[in-house]
Amino acid sequence: MLLPRIFRPIAAHPAPLSASLTRFALPIRTRCLSTTNQPSDSESIEEPAIPLPSESTAPEPLLQEKAPLPYFVGRNSLNSLSVYHKTKRGGNLRITLLKNGEGDLQILKKDLQEVLELPQGDITLNGTTNHIIIRGHKKLQVLNFLYAMGF
């Protein structure tokens, strides 16, 4: 006699969904403009003296504000970044599409090309739709770059 399916023992537990989704960590160089002079590696860096709370000095901001980037990547109506995989030519051409870009997208294209280490022909900018088209399925790498840049 066979037991109904709900009473049968489970042979193997399925892996949790979060374990199957992995993101790649890329070495990302962020760009920010600063008005202070950065000391070179050969110069010694001295730690600033921390003022005591008893001194009557105005509090100074600990972190300098970064200058805004010349581009912006907006989110879609579901509050997620618009990065999509597409296949064309019967599945032989795989592309990644980045939408909702604003500002100077040539600089965004150049930054993506440097981070993903792509040759010049593998990333293009559609000037009509303002979409960045990347050859190959690179959605996770693009999302990691955008999250690291603060979008």
Which pLDDT band, with edges at 50, 70 and 90, does 130 fall under?
A: very high
Percent of the chain residues past pLDDT 90, beyond the cut: 52
- Residue 138 is predicted with a pLDDT of 96
Mean pLDDT over the full length of the chain: 77
| Residue 61 clears pLDDT 70, i.e. is over it | no
DSSP symbols for 61-112: PSSPPPPPPSEEE-B-TTSSB-EEEEEEGGGTEEEEEE--EEE-HHHHHHHH
pLDDT of residue 118: 95
| Model confidence at 12: pLDDT above 50 | no
How is domain 65-151 classified at the architecture level of CATH? Answer: 2-Layer Sandwich (3.30)
